């Protein structure tokens, strides 16, 4: 269980909410983690359970049918989910896609989608990455051509979280391919639209419980009213959401690192070697001491960044630095923790194996390490 006594980003209401989150996860998620891993997806029943508990899209305003809470509540969910060891796509909906709907959506779009997103009846995805365009979103090739009062979408996307479950997808497409980034728009596609097809649930190194898919758009015809935000400003809309997305990733990484450390401590105190516990060896104690120090720094930084974001002050450079640092921290601590498990760490029956596998992609998605460094350098 995450230790909270030294945290300064949360208040009593956040802590009470955390109790609810833990109870819901204990009932609807923890007993089924292995099943989720094997099936490669988290069932819709879990989404419904979170919705009933107020754990989906808690920041949506009361005017739009939500609870109107601050991002700290999202962070509580992200921490507990990651610490539990699940890669479920709840945080994508809570921390990323819902903002696009509430901030950019028309009244009709908000009325159509937000209630279901809050209840768990509507699952969302955002389709950016393509086989030939990852971190460089300006290189996307999916097009949305005007045809009367409609847009006709053609192209493919890959590595899309919630791809198998998604009821509606925010598609990043070129409405004017001659304009580069300025010709990019965001368009809503309902999953039952003719011409839309889901590909396979992709076989990944880790994060097996997250359904991650290929999506195909073959003459997908949608009304122009499905445009989300302003035409030609899609790239700008995406950039506006980056601080929260990257902070969300950093939060999950910090909690995942903490779980890996806690698993290592538990193991080395129980494991015997040469007549004493592995914990009693100086190398073990020094390794754990170094990790504990880094985690202490990490939690202080997460709380600092979280408070700045809630206050509307976190910059893109600061969020990118947070993602860069905390993803690296998670990967190093997961690796050290696995090493302390010895041969047991390579066995899937131990939680550390899953934590180690799941950590690797965090230095890639949401912008690679190299892109983070580029973004940070621009503000120097």
What are the catalytic residues? 245
**Closest C-alpha to 127, from 152, 163, 88, 176:** 163
Q: How many residues does the chain have?
A: 380
3-state secondary structure of 145: strand
**Closest C-alpha to 252, from 75, 119, 35, 73:** 75
**Closest C-alpha to 159, from 369, 368, 374, 371:** 368
CB neighbour list of residue 125: distance below 8 Å, 6 or more residues apart: 89, 92, 97, 160, 161, 162, 163, 165, 166, 168, 169, 170, 215
The rounded Cα 206 to chain-centroid distance in angstroms is 14
Can you list the alpha helix ranges (DSSP code H) found in the chain?
12-28, 33-39, 44-52, 71-84, 90-92, 98-104, 107-119, 234-240, 242-270, 282-310, 316-340, 351-359, 369-378
Dihedral pair phi/psi, residue 273, rounded to 5°: -150, 130
In whole angstroms, what is the distance from residue 170 CA to residue 245 CA?
A: 15
């Amino acid at each position: 269980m995450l230790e909270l006594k030294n945290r300064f980003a949360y208040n009593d209401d956040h802590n009470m909410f955390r109790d609810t989150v833990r109870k819901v996860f204990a009932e609807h998620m923890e007993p089924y983690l292995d099943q989720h891993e094997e099936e490669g997806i988290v069932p819709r029943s879990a989404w419904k359970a979170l919705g009933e508990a107020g754990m989906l899209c808690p920041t949506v305003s009361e005017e739009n049918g939500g609870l109107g809470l601050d991002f700290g509540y999202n962070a509580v969910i992200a921490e507990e989910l990651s610490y539990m060891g699940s890669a479920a796509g709840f945080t994508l909906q809570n921390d990323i896609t819902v903002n696009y709907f509430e901030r950019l959506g028309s009244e009709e779009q908000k009325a159509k989608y937000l209630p279901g997103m809050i209840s768990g009846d509507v699952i969302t995805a955002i389709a950016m990455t393509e086989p030939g365009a990852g971190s460089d979103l300006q290189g996307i090739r999916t097009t949305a051509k005007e045809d009367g009062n409609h847009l006709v979408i053609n192209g493919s996307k890959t590595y899309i979280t919630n791809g198998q479950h998604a009821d509606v997808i925010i598609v990043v497409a070129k409405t004017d391919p001659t304009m580069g980034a300025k010709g990019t728009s965001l368009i809503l596609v309902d999953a039952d639209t003719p011409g839309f097809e889901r590909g396979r649930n992709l076989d990944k190194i880790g994060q097996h419980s997250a359904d991650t898919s290929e999506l195909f758009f073959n003459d997908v015809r949608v009304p122009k009213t499905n445009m989300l935000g302003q035409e030609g400003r899609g790239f700008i809309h995406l950039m506006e959401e980056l601080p929260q997305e990257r902070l969300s990733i950093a939060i999950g990484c910090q909690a995942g690192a903490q779980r890996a450390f806690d698993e290592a401590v538990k193991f080395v105190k129980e494991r015997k070697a040469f007549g004493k516990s592995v914990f009693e060896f100086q190398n073990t104690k020094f390794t754990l001491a170094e990790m504990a120090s880094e985690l202490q720094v990490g939690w202080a930084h997460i709380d600092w960044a979280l408070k700045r974001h809630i206050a509307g002050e976190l910059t893109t450079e600061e969020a990118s630095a947070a993602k860069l640092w905390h993803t690296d921290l998670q990967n190093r601590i997961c690796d050290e923790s696995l090493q302390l498990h010895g041969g047991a760490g390579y066995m899937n029956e131990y939680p550390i194996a899953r934590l180690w596998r799941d950590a690797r992609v965090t230095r890639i998605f949401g912008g690679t390490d190299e892109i983070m460094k580029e973004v940070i350098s621009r503000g120097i």
